[in-house]
Amino acid sequence: MRFRHPTLVLFFCALAGISVAAVAPARSPEALMAEVLAAMTPSQRAAVRAEVQDGRVLLTVQRPQSEALLIGLRQAIASRNASGATDCVEPSKSDRATTACRVYAVEPLPPAAPGRVPARDVRGLIAAMTEDEKVDLLSGTGFDTKAIPRLGIPSLRMVDGPVGYRGGTVTGKATAFPAAVAMAATFNPALNKEVAGAQADEAKARGARMILGPDVNIQRYPLGGRNFEMFSEDPYLTSRLAEAYVRGVQERGVAATVKHFLLNDTELQRTVKSSNADDRTIHEVYGAPFAAVAREALAVMSSYNPANGIYASENKKLLVDYLRGELGFQGLVVSDWWALRSGVGAAEGGTDLEMPIKYFYGAPLREAVRNGIVPLSRIEEMDYHILSVMQKIGLLDDPKPQGPFPKYPKSDPPAHAQLALDAAEESIVLLKNEKAPGDSAELLPLRSDRIRSLAVIGPNSDVYRSGGGSSGVTPFKSVTPLEGLQRRLGSAVALRHVDGVRIPRDFVKSTPLDENAGIAEAARAAARSDAAVVFVGDVESEDGDRPGMGLPGRQDELIAAVAKANPRTVVVVLAGSPVAMPWIGQVKSVLVAWYPGQQEGQALARVLFGDVNPSGKLPVAFPVRLQDSPSAKGYPGGPSGIDYTDGIYVGQRGLDKAGIKALFPFGHGLSYTRFRYGPVSVRAASDKAADPRVEVSVEVTNSGARAGAEVAQLYVGQDAPSVDRPLKEFKGFEKNTLKPGETKRVTFVLDRGAFAFWHPVKRDWVVEPGRFHVFVGSSSQDIRGTAEIDLK
């Protein structure tokens, strides 16, 4: 404890019987600031903003142009017998222009108290660590934390998710599962959990005990470069899948890292652009998935961007007050890679671990601790967060230091390849399916006994397509759509393959093509075949947004030419985000397959030819045009960043509010069979607004001729709320596989969470008494039944 007030010092000294003369009264921070300012040169004074913050003198220098200025400030501090610390090492010159440098001054610390007795629990380990070890533990060594062999503390090894174990050229290959958006399209949390578990097993087998996933940010805007890594535009759906992923990983003794906290959904200038959202929007939308897993997840990754003007990694209001205080998170907050912008700020702001290597948490933090600018107790708390995660996953019981990453296994476990196939098949969404002129049935599924020839066209027809960046997995083997069709059809159907065009910025398939000739050749192949399938898409990756919502390059032209040549044209879109479809009226069938993982080709062949009945639903609405997106107004934002002016009206909710029809709405997805919904019934076990419990049930029948799975969806809307609320919010779903003629009763249980909103003035969740509507349907716009509930 440091006594700053002489009267208090006198009082305690008198109590303790200490001679008063032995204690020198400390200067107040204001007095110290005046002394330091007086010790500066006029030009130094002109360059700084001096203030007292948290009992310390803080000198802020905007965009420091020279080291000499900072050294001069430190000399001024030292000349007044005070301790200082400079908190502005820059990882990259390009960011320098935006950064302020902070220099702190405080009274020197009294000598350290003697250490406590070591013990083998987390607190005991911390007590046994030297001050340097305590600081050293707070920064990484690549993808590991630093081991302290002297105390038997091993390193905690991390690996990227959420598509699979991201090894690449350094650490090897792994099973590549479908992208997160595809996993969300399954609307199947149990399957998501299984896939997460398989990823954890692969990580663990290679010594990694912390997966850097799931990414539970909200797919807010169609151009977001990392949309494919995020589950969905909807907070409820994202929350359920986040829970499944976290449980799947953590049940295997591996820590899940929920990322990127917070408001990290576009990639344009991602390290400098602030995302600005109000409290209600954070609570109801962007923070909701973090809230859903906050008590379970062992780790959270703070994001690159500033949130409401303050870097996420040092945003005390979000990391400490909201995440730890309000949401009850007790685990470890890890920085994104190279994301820190200060040591003192991040340590105090709530980031426990700096990755990938020691930078701000190196010398600057050590000095700040030595000089008492950051209390050692805060460092110990950060150590505690790291070590207790290690303890919870059993790593402290097995204190072998990590060796180098183990050698590549030779292949993926067969069960995982099968799981990747199952997941891909379940994630594919049938957007449109109509009859071609003269046909008696819809174009899909194609019939291998009727079709003798098939044109296989497009830049994505013979490539393994996945999202790029830190979630990119290198599979042992992958199956392209063309290979999948060849395997499925053998010699029974003649395949005519033409790429036609290239996708600009394609780093996988980049050999140039004569695209005029390619389009003409594709049209000829289509004209000569019984049907044509065009595989198109976008190339998406971390660290850049998509330039537009249209299919890049000349893909639209290719589709139009093929559709003109053959009325039996199917389009398959491989992309992680909504794409514009100006050709939608010209083709009979459209599938969106996202980035389906290593079994891409097999899954698509099986869906196209009806071995699998598609059951995916859209986890994100596809607007007709980019400007229809409710988030379009805020993007790319001005100097203060991106304002989330659409508030809680992200995606479908915003389209509903504006009365804009989506090209394909949230929750949409067709099947090769049909489902009939019975009347919706409601039973209130409690109709008290304070603690509601309502059961909504409906019978769903497969009224078609094939087995298939249907995702029954439930939405809730409040009649005349006291604040503006969405017409309806997604609050429940259940997926069931039904044989032809089979009926299943689906029951949704609604509690407080289904009716509540975040009251901006009361700053609390509120359920208002009154009438609520429930909507049950096959998509957000295909509502098959409604009912009312009156809460008292």
Looking up tokens 């940010």 gives: 217
Residue 161 CB, shortest distance to ligand BGC, in Å, is 8
Min dist. Cβ of residue 176 to ligand BGC (A): 16
User: How far is residue 278's CA from residue 647's CA, in Å, rounded to a whole number?
Assistant: 7
Residues 6 or more apart in contact with residue 94 via CB below 8 angstroms = none
Pair 627, 668: CB distance under 8 Å: no
Nearer to ligand BGC, 241 or 482 (CB): 241
Neighbours of 381 (CB within 10 A): 13
Q: Are strands 429-433 and 589-592 parallel, antiparallel or unpaired?
A: antiparallel
Least distance (Å) between residue 30 CB and ligand BGC? 42
Name which of 86 and 305 has its Cβ closer to ligand BGC.
305
| Ramachandran bin of 553, using left for φ above 0, alpha for ψ from -120 to 50, beta for the remaining angles | left
Q: Which residue has the tokens 């174990």?
A: 165
Binding positions for ligand BGC, 400-459, rule CB under 6 A:
none
In the set 234, 336, 352, 422, the catalytic residue is 336
Binding mask 155-174 for ligand BGC (x = CB under 6 A): -----x--------------
State which residue, 335 or 342, has the beta carbon closest to ligand BGC. 335
Q: Where in 81-120 is the site for ligand BGC (CB under 6 A)?
A: none
Q: Which residue has the tokens 């990227």?
A: 160
**SS3 of the chain: helix, strand, coil, percent, to 5:** 30, 25, 45
Nearer to ligand BGC, 259 or 588 (CB): 259
Q: Which is nearer to ligand BGC, 296 or 542 (CB)?
A: 542
Distances (CA, A) of 460 to 354, 417, 465, 593, 601: 39, 21, 7, 11, 10
Q: State in angstroms the smallest separation of the CB of 348 from ligand BGC.
A: 23
DSSP string across 607-663: HHTTSS------SS-B-SSGGGSTTTTTSS-BTTBEE-TTTT--THHHHHHHTPPPS
Question: Measured from the CB of residue 71, what is the shortest distance to ligand BGC in angstroms?
Answer: 33
CA distance 410 to 412: 7
Q: Round to whole Å and give the CA distance between 334 and 38.
A: 40
Tell whether residue 267 is a contact of ligand BGC (CB under 6 A): no
Structure tokens at 718: 């409040």
From residue 197 to residue 226, the character string flagging contacts with ligand BGC as x (rule: CB under 6 A) and all else as - is ---------------x--------------
Phi, psi of 21 (to 5 degrees): -60, -25
Q: Is 462 a catalytic residue?
A: no
Collect all residues with Cβ–Cβ distance below 8 Å to 752 and sequence separation of at least 6: 691, 692, 765, 767
CB of 241 or CB of 513, closer to ligand BGC:
241
Smallest gap from Cβ 574 to ligand BGC, in A, equals: 22
What's the CA gap between 618 and 615, in Å, rounded? Answer: 10
Contacts of 727 (CB under 8 A, 6+ apart): 653, 656, 657, 717
Give the nearer residue to ligand BGC in terms of CB position, either 212 or 457. Answer: 212
Residue 170, judged by CB atoms within 10 A of its CB (0-12, 13-18, 19+), counts as exposed
Residue 133 neighbours by CB distance under 10 Å: 17
Distance between CA 84 and CA 75 in Å, rounded?
9
Q: Which is nearer to ligand BGC, 155 or 470 (CB)?
A: 470
470 makes contact with ligand BGC (CB under 6 A) = yes
Shortest distance, position 227 Cβ to ligand BGC, whole Å: 14
The smaller minimum CB distance to ligand BGC, of residues 340 and 482, is found at: 340
Select 171 or 671, whichever has its Cβ closest to ligand BGC: 171
Residues 241 to 260 in contact with ligand BGC, rule: CB under 6 A: 259
Smallest distance from the beta carbon of 143 to ligand BGC, in angstroms?
8
Rounded-to-integer distance, Cα 546 and Cα 52, Å: 44
407 C-beta neighbours (distance < 10 Å), count:
9
How near is the Cβ of 338 to ligand BGC at its closest, in Å?
8
Q: Confirm or reject binding of residue 336 to ligand BGC (CB under 6 A).
A: yes
Name the minimum Å distance from CB 182 to ligand BGC: 18
# of chain residues touching ligand BGC (CB under 6 A): 7
Q: Are 705 and 740 in contact (CB under 8 A)?
A: yes
Q: 363 to each of 139, 358, 359, 400, how far by Cα in Å?
A: 11, 9, 7, 28
Q: Do residues 343 and 365 make contact, with C-beta atoms less than 8 angstroms apart?
A: yes
- The residues assigned a catalytic role are 336
In the complex, the residues that contact ligand BGC under the rule CB under 6 A are: 160, 212, 259, 336-337, 470, 542
